[in-house]
Amino acid sequence: MSKQWDHSSCSPCLAQEVQDPLKWIQTHLCSNPLHHSDPSALLPSWYFSKISRNEAEQLLLSPPNQHGSFLVRDSESSKGEYSLSVRNHTKVSHFRICKSPRGSLYIQKGHPFPNMEELLAFYTEHWKVIQSPLLQPCSPATPPERDSWERPRWEFTLRRKLGEGYFGEVWEGLWRNTVPVAIKIIKADMKAEDFNKEIQNLKRLRHEKLIQLHAVCSLEEPVYIITELMCKGNLHSYLNSPEGKSLGTSHLLNIACQVADGMRYLEEKHIVHRDLAARNILVGEELTCKIADFGLARLLKDDIYSTSSSTKIPVKWTAPEAANYRTYSLKSDVWSYGILLYEVFTYGQIPYEGMTNQETVRQITRGYRLPRPSPCPPEIYSIMLECWSGNTEERPTFLALREKLGFIYRRLLSSLS
C-alpha cells in the first residue's frame, strides 16, 4: 500500500529530532526566531500535544475528519510517552507509544523506531498490523466562536444513570451516537445565577487532573452540562471494587499525587472546591484520576468565603471552621484532602464510622483525630495529621503536599526496582 499522507510537515532531515515534538519546537524556534512568530506553526501536523483521550475521539469523529484520520498525543498516564489515535470508520482506536530506556519508540515490543516520523511511516505502509489505516493527519478544530459551547440537545443520548449530585442527576451518554460522555442534568429549580457560575468555572479551568467541560445545552430545561466520561466511575466505589482492593501502596500513592496535582492548580487559581472527597474523584484507564464536581466551587478574591447555613455540607469531610462557622478557604480543602487520603489508604472506608455528624464535629473540636489505618505508612499518616491541624495557617499548601508525596512516591518506586 502506498503512503496516503504528506510527510512535508516534517522535513526528512529533521526526522531524528521529531522523536520528542516539544524539544523539536524549542530547537527550531530558537534557531529560526524570525521565521516562526507562532510556535504552534512548528508542530508536526499530526501532533496534538496534551489533548485527552476523549477530546481526541471527539475531534477525530468531527468533520472534516474521516476514516483514516489520525493524531499523536501525549500519554495521560505515562509522562514522556505518547498515544496514537486513529479513526476507523465510526470508531477511534488508541495505541500506546512506549519509549525504551535508550529513547527509541515502539507500539509492539521488538519493533522499535528511532523517532516518531519513522514509526508513523512504518504503520502507514503496514497498517494491517494494527488494523487501522493511517491515511491523513487529523484536521484541528476550527477556532471557537461566540457561544461555541452551546450544542443542540438532539446530539446527546442518555444511556445509564450514574448517580445524583448537588445540582442534579449524572448520566452516561453518547454524543452523536459515537463518543461516550458524562451528562449532568441540572435540577429545574436551580437558580440561573448558580448555573452560570458553574459553567464559567468549568470553561476557565483547564488541567489534566480536572474533569473537562465539552458542551452545554442551556436553551431549554432541563439544562445539560456535558463533560468527559471516566470509565471506572468514582474513586470511592473503585476502591471498594475487587480491582481497587488489589492496589498496592505505590498505586495508592499515585492516586494521592494526582489529586494533589489537580488541587495545586485550583489553589493557584484561588478556587475552593468545598466538597473534596473520594466520591468526587473519577477514575479512568490506567488509574488516571481527575477531580470532578465543581458545582460547589466559588472563585475567591481573598481565598475565603462564607455560605448560608441552609446549604448542605458533607460534615465528615469538612474542616471544623467550615462545619462550625460556614467559613471556607483553600485551607479547608486541605483538611478535606487529609480525609481523602484516609479514604484512599483504607480502600474506601467511611471516616468516623459509627459516629453521627454531631458527634464527629464535637469530637474534632475537642482535638480527636482519626487513628492511623493499619495499611497506611506512618509518614503518610503524618501528612494526614498536618492536614488536620486545628490552626489553618499550620496546614500545608497543595504545592507542598504534591512535592512531599511525589518524593515519597519516587523513593518507593526506586526501592521496588
Do the beta carbons of residue 364 and residue 356 sit within 8 Å? no
**DSSP class per residue in 40-102:** GGGS-TTB-TT--HHHHHHHHTSTT--TTEEEEEE-SSSTT-EEEEEEETTEEEEEEEEE-TT
Number of helices (H) and strands (E) in the chain: give both, helices first: 12, 16
Helices 330-345 and 398-416: crossing angle, nearest 10°?
Answer: 30
Instruction: Kindly tell me the sign of the dihedral angle through the C-alpha atoms of 261, 259, 76, 101.
Output: positive
- Residue 275 is a catalytic residue: yes
Backbone angles phi, psi at 13, to 5 degrees: -70, -15
Give SS3 for 35: coil
Do the beta carbons of residue 278 and residue 344 sit within 8 Å? yes
Check 6, 147, 194, 275 and give the catalytic one: 275
Q: How far apart are CA 280 and CA 292, in angstroms?
A: 5
Q: How far apart are CA 395 and CA 392, in angstroms?
A: 5
Q: How far apart are CA 203 and CA 331, in angstroms?
A: 24
Q: How far apart are CA 156 and CA 115, in angstroms?
A: 40
Query: Which three cell numbers, joined as nine digits, stand for 357?
Result: 455528624
Backbone angles phi, psi at 363, to 5 degrees: -65, -40
Q: How far apart are CA 151 and CA 44, in angstroms?
A: 30
Query: Residue 290 has what DSSP assignment?
Result: E
Residue 170: count of CB within 10 angstroms of its CB: 21
- Residue 226: exposure state from Cβ atoms within 10 A (0-12, 13-18, ≥19): buried
Residues marked active site are found at 275
